[in-house]
Structure 1
Amino acid sequence: MAGPSALRVEARSLTLPGGTCASFAVAGYPREVGAGWLEPLLTYPGRLDVALHVEPVPPLVAAQRLRRQLARLESTSRADAERGRLADFGAEAAADDAADLAASLARGHGRLFRVGLYLTVHAPTAEQLREEADRVRALAASLLLDSHPTTFRALQGWTTTLPLGEDSLSVRRAFDTAALAAAFPFTSPDLEPLLGPTPTLFGLNAHSSGPVLWDRFAQDNHNSVTLARSGAGKSYFTKLEVLRLLYQGVHVAIVDPEDEYRRLAGSVGGTCIALGAPGVHVNPFDLPPGGEADTLTRRALFLQTLVATMFGEPLAPATRAVLDRAVIATYAAAGITSDPRTWKRPAPLMADLAAQLDLAAAGEGASGNGAAELSARLAPWVSGSYAGLFTGPTTTAPTGHLQVFSLRDLPEETRPVGMLLALDAIWRQVADPADRRRRLVVVDEAWTLMHQDAGARFLYRLAKSARKHWAGLAVVTQDAADLLSCDLGRAVIANAATQVLLRQAPQVIAEVAEAFDLTDGEQAFLLAADRGEGLLCGTTGAGGAADRAAFTAIASPAEHRLATTDPAELAHLHTIAGTPAAFDEDGRAGRAEDGDEGGDTL
């Protein structure tokens, strides 16, 4: 650790290059405290270092010390009574506290700790240091903390508050488990979250600077919805949560319309599948090698949803019946039946379905059953401009702890179809009972899918069923109006226990406020929020009441490099790495050549 080039030690202060500092040791504490009672010290507006040194006391030693303390207090009380003195209420209160602590230790409900609390105040000049020190001591006194300057031990006081883990002052006080837990301000004063074993840091509280922690897998359901206008930082925030969930072993799959998650996948060893790129194919007829008895039926039903999304409108009942017969005939022609042993055979392609429709049309006669019309409408997806995705068997199966389905190479007209195919591939993994684990499915720019009725229904089914498979669905969109204007969109929001609102546009704030029951102050905050600032809404309060916390997303330098999409920053990063940056017509950084991001790029 690099230290200052020189310093001057005085009786009560220390002069460092560029400023001076003074340290204080806390010797007196309040008798009763609440959760996060040290929060005012950590949110002090000036430069103040707060160090809390904790040393556990072995249970046997703690019991012996408590017995001696109880004996001293009891003997003092009896001596005062024998001499006719008035009762010492402080000694009686101390005796009661010691007795309660001894009982807690005996039952194994808590432990004893030796705790030291130290403060170091920094200022540019000695005069300003005296003013800052007076303010800090006044703040400590308001918390009923008795702070004393480290006279003639200024150097030891300063080193004690450095992140070295060394207590050179040893001004300790006994704390039990409850008191020590209350000293840690790792909670938001506006939020009472259900924290499981893997809480995620969302950011700092916008009003108190305390950490805002949230565990989506400890809520009633694991789904979330993130709404924000363009440029508010919703993708940046989502990348930070994804990274922190990956640290905890959560498997993440992302539907990425704008190729914003490629660098992230490459840096953490994930897989990126670029739908629409030359040579990349997805076969919707694929069957899992080991599925349930109704797997073939479910695949046929999904193909009906897929075709409806291709056409951009719901299928008529007659058309749906024709398509269902053609799908079953297509599988039968490939030797695939309801027998799971046949599912290992090569799956048919979309061209095979078109051939079956042509056969049906040739044999239907004058009455007709719509097969010819259905085949004609499928022609662009089989042999026309949109056939790139379906011209061959699936080129690769998504694997790995982070899977990104990039849709940027798809034409705008085929993006809903590509998003639906990506979600289907992800859902088949999520619903696999042989591979049950915590998963998160992220759908960025979900408004693309919500435009289609079939796609919106598919997303709704994911939101309803994800929890049963230990998975969460994260819906991220900048078009709040599309999500709130339809019943299915509102149902997706209603099935999300985690709701994140970033900066909103004035044109939609009224709809957002009505949907999320926002106060006037919360609406004003969202309209004026800076990039990365938002409102976390949970439903974990008593009786299902909503808990709210305004927060600012924070990132470490390494996380920021992976999450940023600022073209200037990306160009600077490429320059540092010695590789020129390539940008597309939208100003985004282009793809790395030869897979130099380090992941599997397909």
Structure 2
Amino acid sequence: MTLLRFSRHRPKNDAPAVDAARLLDVNGPEAIEVHARALAIGEHLATTLVVSGYPAEVAPGWLAPLLNFPGHLDIALHIEPVPNPVAAAGLKKQRARLESGRRTGFDKGHLDDPEVEAAAADAADLAYRIARGEGKLFHVALYLTVHAPDEESLAEQAAAVRATAESLLMTVAPTTYRALPGWLATLPLGIDTLKTRRTFDTAALAACFPFTSPDLPITADENGTACGVLYGLNTVSAAPVMWDRFAQDNYNSITLARSGAGKSYLTKLELLRLLFTGVTASVIDPEDEYVRLADTVGGNVVALGADGVRLNPFDLPAATDGGEDVLTRRVLFLHTFLAVLLGSNLTAAEKAVLDQAILTTYARAGITTDPRTWRRTPPTLGDLAAVVADDGGETAADLTDRLVPFTTGSHARLFNGASTVSTTGHLVVFALRQLPDEVKAPAMLLALDTIWRQVTDRAHHGRHLVVVDEAWLLMRDGAGARFLFRLAKAARKHWTGLAMVTQDADDVLASPLGRAIVSNAATQILLRQAPQAIDVISENFHLCHGEREFLLSATRGEALLLTGDRRHKVALISVAAPGEHEVITTDPGELITRHPEDEEPDTDDPYADALVGDDVGGGA
């Protein structure tokens, strides 16, 4: 054993001699104990393995298993180009040596040696490619340094690295009695102190680059500038995770997590950062978790359920571009809306009565298939109820009774009347917390329809994001699920992305429509899952055992980001700046500490309950 001590003070002698002590003078450890095969560096141990043999054929990214090794492993690849004249001369000698061996074997009556024949053919092919300038030769050295806190762990980690390397058909050997030069060869000094090299051609060396890693590829625009927003930090490499949903095949996303895992926190974080890139957004917010964010950035909050706030389901698009299609589409939407409002699938007889009644209601308001009439004041739900009542049939009488709560009863102020609020702006939040649970689904559907009419407006330009939080409220209803499915399929044509956020995996994945929506989401985000739901999640998202265990043990804010084509996936933790965290957090304990004077919320304030949400902060 050799004990080397390095002074942290610059020596008085300014001689240019370079040795290990000088190299480690600034940032090196206080002492290093050099053993036969290992080093004691400060408080931990390290050993170096040298790769002395390589597989005959490799594929691009073949070093990925080593680069993704879960332990503390330093990998150094030293590359030195060989001048073409030297390479050509060396190949000529090698070909002469191989040819001489072949002829000697023929003269002695030996059979062909397959290895010699293959080596001779490869050498000839390489010589011709170098002569034509199609490739070059390089001297390459690959070293692996394993770190561990104690001898037992070091032996286990070194054995695991050796097993991984041998599974790639590589031959590795320890640096016996050369532990210190081996460690120095893997430091970021660019010095090959071992000189254990092999010759690679351009194609073989190129297969090592770019290194595949647990990081996502960086997307860039047509000018080569990196784009996307910061989602968080990679839990493996600690590198920033940048993702651009608008650079994918479609712009939709699905976020699934148990309550309190941080799904709304991560969604708000992405939304806030997208706003700074010029993206406009609309949010369906059942728990008023986005109200403070909208107030901070100057957005528009539509608090459905508050006094005097109402959207008329009979409104026609403000700008239309032709034909009777607009009125027909409006009638079809009203069929969907009324089915959700009445809480059941309509029978054929009920649909026939409603279809005729809707057309009659528009006609009484002076609105027909003539586009010139579409700017007239639209009718209301009460007008429809009156038309249905005039029908006089048994089916119409039943429909009239079921419409009473929404026309003259307890929910009349929510849907019966002209629209009273503006729904335009760079960020529009439809806050639904004050609505009773019984009418949240039709209110969400009505808000989504309002958003869709604006997105498909001819005056709409630029990227737009539609966030549907607690999407299970719509997915549990067949008509609502079908509307979300149509939105997911058609949103891309209008440069719009649908971001679905929900905590109930069964409502999304148990139905064919839900699975179709997931398959149309190029961005898929999974946070912590309950043990009862993990089997369904694993089956539908094709998770491996490690990913399954990660979701079961993930802490708040940790997420698994998957791409729709399954080519890329990354584990991350959401990280927000202090200013961002202050805007998006809904942790009631933190908010009370920050604003102790607001312990008693003002009951007259329609947004008083907006400070309490389902998902608390995912990370600060």
- State the TM-score, normalized to the length of structure 1: 0.64
2:17 aligned partner: none
CA separation of 1:256 and 1:392: change in aligned 2, threshold 3 A? same
User: After the TM superposition, which residues 179-578 of structure 1 pair with which residues of structure 2 at under 5 Å, given as runs?
Assistant: 179-181=207-209, 183-186=211-214, 223=252, 225-231=254-260, 234-235=263-264, 238=267, 252-262=281-291, 272-278=301-307, 280-284=309-313, 285-293=315-323, 294-313=325-344, 314=346, 315-330=350-365, 332=366, 338=369, 340=371, 345=375, 347-348=377-378, 350=380, 354=382, 358=386, 370=396, 374=400, 377=403, 380-381=406-407, 385-388=411-414, 393-400=419-426, 403-432=428-457, 435=460, 439-483=464-508, 488-489=513-514, 492=517, 512=536, 516=540, 528=552, 530=554, 540=565, 552-558=571-577, 561=581, 567=587, 571-572=589-590
Give the partner amino acid of 2:357.
V
| Alignment check: 8 A CA contact 1:14 1:155 kept | no
Aligned CA distance change for structure 1 residues 324 and 22 (closer, same or farther; 3 Å)? same
Does 1:30 find its partner at 2:54?
Answer: yes
16, 30, 34: which one pairs with 1:8?
Answer: 30
Cα deviation, 1:34-64, whole Å, max 9, x if unaligned, reads: 444334444445434557799xx9xxxx9xx
Q: Percent identity?
A: 40
Cα distance change on mapping 1:509 and 1:406 into 2, 3 Å: same
Selected match of 1:73 from 90, 94, 101: 90
Match of 2:9 in 1: none
Shift of residue 415 of structure 1?
0.8
**Native 8 Å contact 1:502 1:529 kept in 2:** no
The Cα offsets for residues 312-337 of structure 1, whole Å up to 9 and x where unpaired, read as 2434422331132113433x2xxx66
1:420 is displaced (CA, Å) by: 0.7
The 2-side partners of 1:266 and 1:529 are apart by 35
Is the contact between residue 441 and residue 471 of structure 1 (CA under 8 Å) also seen in structure 2?
yes
Q: Using a 3 Å threshold, how does the CA distance of structure 1 residues 534 and 273 change in structure 2: closer, same or farther?
A: same
Q: 1:462 to 1:368 in 2, by over 3 A?
A: same
Contact 2:287 2:610 in 1 (8 A): no
Distance in 1 between the 2:574 and 2:520 partners?
28
2:287 alignment partner, SS class: coil
Distance in 1 separating the partners of 2:215 and 2:51: 25
The one-character-per-residue Cα deviations of 1:240-283 (angstroms, maximum 9, x if unpaired) are 76678778876654322223344666677766544334554434
The alpha-carbon distance between structure 1 residues 135 and 584, as it changes in their structure 2 partners (threshold 3 A), is farther
Q: Secondary structure at the match of 1:325?
A: helix
5 Å-filtered alignment, 1:68-107, equals 68-77=85-94, 80=97, 93=122, 96-97=125-126, 100=129
- Structure-1 separation of matches of 2:430 and 2:133: 54
Would you say the 8 A contact 1:499–1:536 is kept in 2? yes
Higher alpha-carbon deviation: 115-124 or 410-419: 115-124
Query: CA separation in 1, counterparts of 2:423 and 2:590?
Result: 35
Which structure has the larger Rg over C-alpha atoms? 2
Q: Distance in 2 between matches of 1:68 and 1:130?
A: 44
Q: 1:408 to 1:122 in 2, by over 3 A?
A: same
Structure 2: runs of 5+ lacking an equivalent: 1-24, 105-115, 222-226, 613-620
One-letter amino acid of the counterpart of residue 305, structure 2: G
Equivalent pair of 1:581/1:590 in contact (CA under 8 Å):
no
Q: CA separation in 2, counterparts of 1:91 and 1:365?
A: 94
- Tell me the C-alpha RMSD between the 2 structures: 6.2
User: What is the CA distance between 1:348 and its match in structure 2?
Assistant: 3.7
How many residues align structurally?
A: 545
Structure 1 unaligned residues grouped into runs of 5+:
161-166, 541-546, 594-602
Q: Give the letter for the 1:448 counterpart.
A: L
| Structure 1: distance between partners of 2:85 and 2:596 | 70
Which whole-Å CA distance do the structure 2 matches of 1:279 and 1:383 have between them? 16
